[in-house]
Structure 1
Amino acid sequence: MIAFTIYNEVRGNRYRTLEEVNEMKKMLLVYVVLIAAFALYVLRFEYTSRVNSSWENRGLRGDLGETYMMITFQSGLEYWKSPLKGFEDAADALGVTVEYRGATRYDAKEQTTVIEQAIARKPAGIAISAIDPKSLIPAINKAVEADIPVILFDSDAPGSQAYSFLGTDNYKAGVTAADKMAELLGREGEVGVLTSPGQQNHEERTKGFRETIQQRYPLMHVVEVADGHGDTLKSRDETLRMMKAHPKLAGIFVTEATGGAGAGEAVQNAGNAQKLHIITFDTNKATLDLIKNGTISATIAQGTWNMGYWSLQYLFHLHHHLTVPAPSSSGENAPLPVTVDTGISVVTRSNVDDYYAK
Structure 2
Amino acid sequence: MSQVSNPTSAGPSGRFSRRGILGGGVTVLAAGALSACKSSTSSAEAGSGSGGAQKGKKVIFVVHEKNSFFPPVQKGFEAYGKAMGWQTQFTGPATFDQSTVVNMMQNAVNAKPDGLILTRIDDTSYDGVIKAAQAAGIPVILSNVASADYEKLGVGFVGQDFVPAGVTAGEQILKHIAKQGRRSGAIVIGKIQAGNSALEQRGKGIKQAVSDYNRAHGTKFTTEDLIVGTDEAGAVSKIDGRYSRDPHSVAGWAGTAFECQFVATWAKSKNLVGKFANGGFDMTSPVLAGIKDGSIDYTIGQNPWAQGWVAAALLAQQIDPGYPSFTYDTGAEVVDSSNIAAVSAREAKVA
Name the TM-score class by shorter chain: 0.7 to 0.9
Counterpart Cα distance in 2 of 1:59 and 1:81: 24
Equivalent AA in structure 1 for residue 137 of structure 2: D
Q: Give the TM-score taking structure 1 as reference length.
A: 0.75
Instruction: State the 1:185 CA deviation.
Output: 1.5
- Counterpart residue identity of residue 150, structure 1: V
Alignment partner, residue 173 of structure 2: 181
Letter in 2 for 1:108: Q
List per-residue Cα deviations over 1:201-231 (Å, max 9, x = no partner): 0001000000111123341423421111233
Structure 1 residue 194 displacement after superposition:
0.9
Higher Cα radius of gyration: 1
Residue 265 of structure 1: how far off its partner (Å): 1.8
**CA distance in 2: counterparts of 1:126 and 1:287, whole angstroms:** 30
Q: CA deviation at 1:354?
A: 1.7
Instruction: Quote the residue 2:23 is aligned against.
Output: none
Whether the aligned pair in 1 keeps the contact of 2:315 and 2:325 (CA below 8 Å) is no
- Work out the percentage of aligned pairs sharing the same amino acid: 24
Secondary structure of 1:79 counterpart? coil
Q: CA deviation at 1:84?
A: 1.2
SS of residue paired to 1:197: coil
What's the counterpart of residue 237 of structure 2? Answer: 237
Asked which structure has the greater RCO (Cα within 8 Å, sep 6+), the reply is 2
Q: Answer yes or no: is the 8 Å Cα contact 1:86–1:308 preserved in 2.
A: yes
Deviation at 1:119, TM superposition (A): 0.8
Q: 334, 338, 349: which is aligned to 1:350?
A: 338
Give the superposition deviation at 1:236.
1.4
1:275 corresponds to which residue? 275
2:154 aligned with 1:168: no
Pick from 40, 56, 64: which aligns with 1:73?
64
Q: Contact (CA 8 Å) 1:87, 1:308: kept in 2 or not?
A: yes
Which structure 1 residue ranges, 5 or more long, are not aligned? 1-54, 324-334
| 3-state secondary structure, aligned to 1:156 | coil
In structure 1, distance between residues paired with 2:196 and 2:297: 25
Q: CA RMSD in A?
A: 2.2
Unaligned runs of 5+ in 2: 1-30, 37-51
Give the aligned partner of residue 5 of structure 1: none
Contact 1:132 1:198 in 2 (8 A): yes
1:119-152, CA deviations, whole angstroms, 9 ceiling, x for partnerless residues? Answer: 1111111111234442122112211221111111
Q: Is the 8 A contact 1:108 1:131 kept in 2?
A: no
The alpha carbon displacement at 1:59 in A equals 4.9
Q: Distance in 2 between matches of 1:273 and 1:177?
A: 19
Which residue of structure 2 lines up, in the alignment, with residue 97 of structure 1?
87
Residues 97 and 293 of structure 1: CA distance in aligned 2, closer, same or farther (over 3 Å): same
Amino acid at match of 2:120: A
- Which residue identity lines up with residue 209 of structure 1 in the other structure? I
Paired residue for 1:120?
A: 110
Question: Secondary structure of 1:62's match?
Answer: helix
The answer to whether the Cα contact below 8 Å between 2:170 and 2:209 also exists between their aligned partners in 1 is yes
Structure 1 residue 162, shift from structure 2 partner: 5.2
User: Partner residue of 2:201?
Assistant: 204
Distance 2:56 2:85 in 1: 9
Does residue 144 in structure 1 map to residue 144 in structure 2? Answer: no
Separation in 2 of the partners of 1:158 and 1:123? 26
Equivalent residue for 2:222?
222
SS in 1 for 2:82: helix
Letter in 1 for 2:293: N
Q: Which residue is equivalent to 2:261?
A: 261
What secondary structure sits across from 2:305 in the alignment?
helix
Contact map agreement 2:54 2:320 (CA 8 A) in 1: no
Tell me whether 1:297 sits opposite 2:297 in the alignment: yes
Q: 1:175 to 1:118 in 2, by over 3 A?
A: same
**Conserved? CA contact 2:253–2:260, under 8 Å:** no
Q: Which residue of 2 aligns with 1:33?
A: none
**Secondary structure, in 3 states, of the residue corresponding to 2:233?**
helix
Return closer, same or farther for 1:322/1:63 CA change in 2, 3 Å cut-off. closer
- Distance across 2 between alignment mates of 1:273 and 1:74: 30
In the TM superposition, what whole-angstrom CA distance separates every residue of 1:87-124 from its partner, at most 9, and x where no partner exists?
Answer: 12222332322111112221111111111111111111
Could you tell me how far 1:355 is from its partner in structure 2?
A: 2.3
SS of match in other structure, 1:78: coil
The residue aligned with 2:28 is none
Q: 1:212 to 1:228 in 2, by over 3 A?
A: same
Equivalent residue number for residue 329 of structure 1: none
Q: 1:194 aligns with which of 186, 190, 193?
A: 190
Partner in structure 2 of residue 42 of structure 1: none
TM-score, length of structure 2 as denominator length: 0.76
How far apart, CA to CA, are the structure 2 residues paired with 1:88 and 1:164?
19
Aligned residues of 2:214 and 2:220 also touching (Cα < 8 A): yes
**Residues 77 and 309 in structure 2, CA contact (< 8 A), matched pair in contact too:** yes
Query: Does the CA-based 8 Å contact 1:261-1:286 persist in structure 2?
Result: yes
Asked whether the 8 Å contact 1:229–1:235 carries over to 2, the reply is: yes
